[in-house]
Protein backbone atom coordinates (compact mmCIF):
# COMPACT_ATOMS: atom_id res chain seq x y z
CA UNK A 1 0.00 0.00 0.00
CA UNK A 2 2.80 2.40 0.88
CA UNK A 3 4.62 1.66 -2.37
CA UNK A 4 1.47 2.05 -4.42
CA UNK A 5 0.49 5.36 -2.82
CA UNK A 6 4.02 6.74 -3.21
CA UNK A 7 4.23 5.60 -6.82
CA UNK A 8 0.79 7.03 -7.53
CA UNK A 9 1.93 10.37 -6.09
CA UNK A 10 5.03 10.35 -8.34
CA UNK A 11 2.88 9.36 -11.34
CA UNK A 12 0.39 12.19 -10.74
CA UNK A 13 3.04 14.83 -10.03
CA UNK A 14 5.57 13.90 -12.71
CA UNK A 15 3.41 11.98 -15.20
CA UNK A 16 5.66 8.89 -15.04
CA UNK A 17 4.47 5.34 -15.61
CA UNK A 18 3.10 3.69 -12.45
CA UNK A 19 5.48 0.73 -12.69
CA UNK A 20 8.49 2.98 -13.25
CA UNK A 21 7.41 5.03 -10.24
CA UNK A 22 7.10 1.86 -8.12
CA UNK A 23 10.56 0.65 -9.12
CA UNK A 24 11.98 4.12 -8.44
CA UNK A 25 10.40 4.10 -4.96
CA UNK A 26 11.89 0.65 -4.24
CA UNK A 27 15.37 1.60 -5.46
CA UNK A 28 15.54 4.90 -3.56
CA UNK A 29 14.20 3.32 -0.36
CA UNK A 30 16.57 0.36 -0.67
CA UNK A 31 19.59 2.59 -1.30
CA UNK A 32 19.09 4.91 1.65
CA UNK A 33 18.20 2.00 3.96
CA UNK A 34 21.29 0.00 2.97
CA UNK A 35 23.59 3.05 3.02
CA UNK A 36 22.29 4.61 6.21
CA UNK A 37 20.89 1.65 8.12
CA UNK A 38 18.15 1.95 10.69
CA UNK A 39 19.22 5.52 11.56
CA UNK A 40 18.41 6.66 8.01
CA UNK A 41 14.97 5.06 8.25
CA UNK A 42 14.30 6.73 11.61
CA UNK A 43 15.41 10.17 10.39
CA UNK A 44 13.31 9.77 7.24
CA UNK A 45 10.27 8.81 9.35
CA UNK A 46 10.81 11.81 11.62
CA UNK A 47 11.17 14.22 8.70
CA UNK A 48 8.12 12.80 6.90
CA UNK A 49 6.06 13.05 10.09
CA UNK A 50 7.08 16.67 10.59
CA UNK A 51 6.25 17.59 6.99
CA UNK A 52 2.88 15.79 7.04
CA UNK A 53 1.78 17.16 10.42
CA UNK A 54 2.78 20.74 9.60
CA UNK A 55 1.17 20.54 6.15
CA UNK A 56 -2.04 19.11 7.59
CA UNK A 57 -2.19 21.80 10.29
CA UNK A 58 -1.70 24.57 7.71
CA UNK A 59 -4.44 23.03 5.55
CA UNK A 60 -6.80 22.69 8.52
CA UNK A 61 -6.26 26.31 9.64
CA UNK A 62 -6.85 27.61 6.10
CA UNK A 63 -9.94 25.43 5.70
CA UNK A 64 -11.47 26.51 9.02
CA UNK A 65 -10.74 30.16 8.19
CA UNK A 66 -12.41 29.71 4.81
CA UNK A 67 -15.59 28.24 6.25
CA UNK A 68 -15.69 30.44 9.35
CA UNK A 69 -15.02 27.95 12.13
CA UNK A 70 -16.56 24.79 13.53
CA UNK A 71 -20.11 26.11 14.09
CA UNK A 72 -20.33 27.08 10.41
CA UNK A 73 -18.93 23.68 9.40
CA UNK A 74 -21.54 21.89 11.48
CA UNK A 75 -24.38 23.82 9.86
CA UNK A 76 -23.03 23.85 6.29
CA UNK A 77 -21.98 20.17 6.19
CA UNK A 78 -25.48 18.93 6.95
CA UNK A 79 -26.72 20.95 3.95
CA UNK A 80 -23.85 20.02 1.61
CA UNK A 81 -24.88 18.10 -1.49
CA UNK A 82 -22.51 17.29 -4.37
CA UNK A 83 -23.28 18.88 -7.73
CA UNK A 84 -23.53 15.44 -9.35
CA UNK A 85 -25.61 12.74 -7.68
CA UNK A 86 -26.93 9.26 -8.37
CA UNK A 87 -30.63 9.70 -9.14
CA UNK A 88 -33.24 8.05 -6.91
CA UNK A 89 -30.82 7.52 -4.02
CA UNK A 90 -30.02 9.30 -0.78
CA UNK A 91 -26.39 8.21 -0.49
CA UNK A 92 -25.25 11.70 -1.48
CA UNK A 93 -26.94 13.27 1.56
CA UNK A 94 -25.01 13.62 4.82
CA UNK A 95 -26.38 11.47 7.64
CA UNK A 96 -28.33 13.26 10.35
CA UNK A 97 -25.80 12.01 12.92
CA UNK A 98 -22.77 13.00 10.81
CA UNK A 99 -21.49 15.45 13.42
CA UNK A 100 -21.83 13.05 16.36
CA UNK A 101 -18.81 11.10 17.52
CA UNK A 102 -20.85 8.60 19.56
CA UNK A 103 -23.58 7.25 17.29
CA UNK A 104 -26.64 5.18 18.17
CA UNK A 105 -25.76 1.53 18.91
CA UNK A 106 -28.73 0.25 16.86
CA UNK A 107 -29.27 2.63 13.94
CA UNK A 108 -25.81 4.22 13.67
CA UNK A 109 -23.51 3.24 10.84
CA UNK A 110 -20.61 3.38 13.31
CA UNK A 111 -22.26 2.54 16.66
CA UNK A 112 -20.51 3.84 19.76
CA UNK A 113 -20.32 0.34 21.25
CA UNK A 114 -18.35 -1.00 18.30
CA UNK A 115 -16.19 2.08 18.10
CA UNK A 116 -15.38 1.99 21.81
CA UNK A 117 -14.91 -1.73 22.41
CA UNK A 118 -14.04 -2.96 18.93
CA UNK A 119 -11.49 -0.26 18.19
CA UNK A 120 -9.91 -0.69 21.62
CA UNK A 121 -9.10 -4.30 20.78
CA UNK A 122 -7.82 -3.39 17.34
CA UNK A 123 -5.76 -0.47 18.66
CA UNK A 124 -4.20 -2.66 21.34
CA UNK A 125 -3.22 -5.21 18.68
CA UNK A 126 -1.77 -2.54 16.40
CA UNK A 127 0.18 -0.56 18.98
CA UNK A 128 1.43 -3.57 20.95
CA UNK A 129 2.04 -6.33 18.41
CA UNK A 130 2.37 -4.81 14.94
CA UNK A 131 5.89 -5.54 13.74
CA UNK A 132 6.54 -2.01 12.44
CA UNK A 133 5.53 -0.36 15.72
CA UNK A 134 7.35 -2.90 17.89
CA UNK A 135 10.48 -2.57 15.73
CA UNK A 136 10.43 1.21 16.17
CA UNK A 137 10.08 0.84 19.93
CA UNK A 138 12.89 -1.70 20.12
CA UNK A 139 15.19 0.57 18.09
CA UNK A 140 14.98 3.39 20.67
CA UNK A 141 18.18 4.44 22.43
CA UNK A 142 16.72 3.74 25.86
CA UNK A 143 13.53 2.79 27.62
CA UNK A 144 12.73 6.45 28.29
CA UNK A 145 13.11 7.25 24.56
CA UNK A 146 10.77 4.36 23.70
CA UNK A 147 8.20 5.62 26.21
CA UNK A 148 8.49 9.21 24.97
CA UNK A 149 8.10 8.06 21.36
CA UNK A 150 4.98 6.09 22.25
CA UNK A 151 3.48 9.07 24.07
CA UNK A 152 4.27 11.40 21.15
CA UNK A 153 2.66 8.91 18.75
CA UNK A 154 -0.46 8.77 20.92
CA UNK A 155 -0.78 12.56 20.81
CA UNK A 156 -0.26 12.59 17.06
CA UNK A 157 -3.03 9.98 16.68
CA UNK A 158 -5.49 12.53 18.09
CA UNK A 159 -4.84 14.94 15.20
CA UNK A 160 -6.51 13.17 12.22
CA UNK A 161 -10.04 14.20 13.20
CA UNK A 162 -9.04 17.86 13.14
CA UNK A 163 -6.45 17.91 10.34
CA UNK A 164 -7.75 15.25 7.94
CA UNK A 165 -11.44 14.47 8.51
CA UNK A 166 -12.75 17.98 9.14
CA UNK A 167 -10.83 19.62 6.25
CA UNK A 168 -12.31 16.89 4.04
CA UNK A 169 -15.79 17.78 5.31
CA UNK A 170 -15.05 21.44 4.61
CA UNK A 171 -13.98 20.59 1.06
CA UNK A 172 -17.36 18.92 0.51
CA UNK A 173 -19.04 22.18 1.49
CA UNK A 174 -16.75 24.56 -0.40
CA UNK A 175 -16.19 22.49 -3.55
CA UNK A 176 -19.30 20.36 -4.18
CA UNK A 177 -18.43 19.62 -7.83
CA UNK A 178 -14.69 18.97 -7.44
CA UNK A 179 -14.58 15.55 -5.76
CA UNK A 180 -13.49 12.39 -7.51
CA UNK A 181 -16.92 10.85 -6.94
CA UNK A 182 -18.60 13.86 -8.53
CA UNK A 183 -16.40 13.48 -11.61
CA UNK A 184 -17.47 9.90 -12.25
CA UNK A 185 -21.12 10.41 -11.33
CA UNK A 186 -21.03 8.59 -8.00
CA UNK A 187 -22.21 9.95 -4.70
CA UNK A 188 -20.06 10.07 -1.56
In this prediction, residue 184 carries a pLDDT of: 43
What's the chain's average pLDDT? 86
Instruction: Calculate mean pLDDT across residues 106-117.
Output: 85
In this prediction, residue 136 carries a pLDDT of: 82
CA distances from 111 to 47, 93, 102 (A): 36, 19, 7
Q: What is the pTM of this model?
A: 0.71
In this prediction, residue 166 carries a pLDDT of: 93
pLDDT digits (tens, 9 = 90+) for 158-180: 899 899 999 999 998 998 876 55
pLDDT digits (tens, 9 = 90+) for 15-73: 999 999 999 889 988 998 899 888 888 888 889 999 999 999 999 999 999 999 999 99
In this prediction, residue 73 carries a pLDDT of: 93
Amino acid sequence: TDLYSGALFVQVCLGWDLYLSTVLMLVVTGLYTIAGGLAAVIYTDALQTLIMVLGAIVLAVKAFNEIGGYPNLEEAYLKAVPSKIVPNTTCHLPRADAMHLFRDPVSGDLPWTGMTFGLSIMATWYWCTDQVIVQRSLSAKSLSHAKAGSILASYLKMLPLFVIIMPGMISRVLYPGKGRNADVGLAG
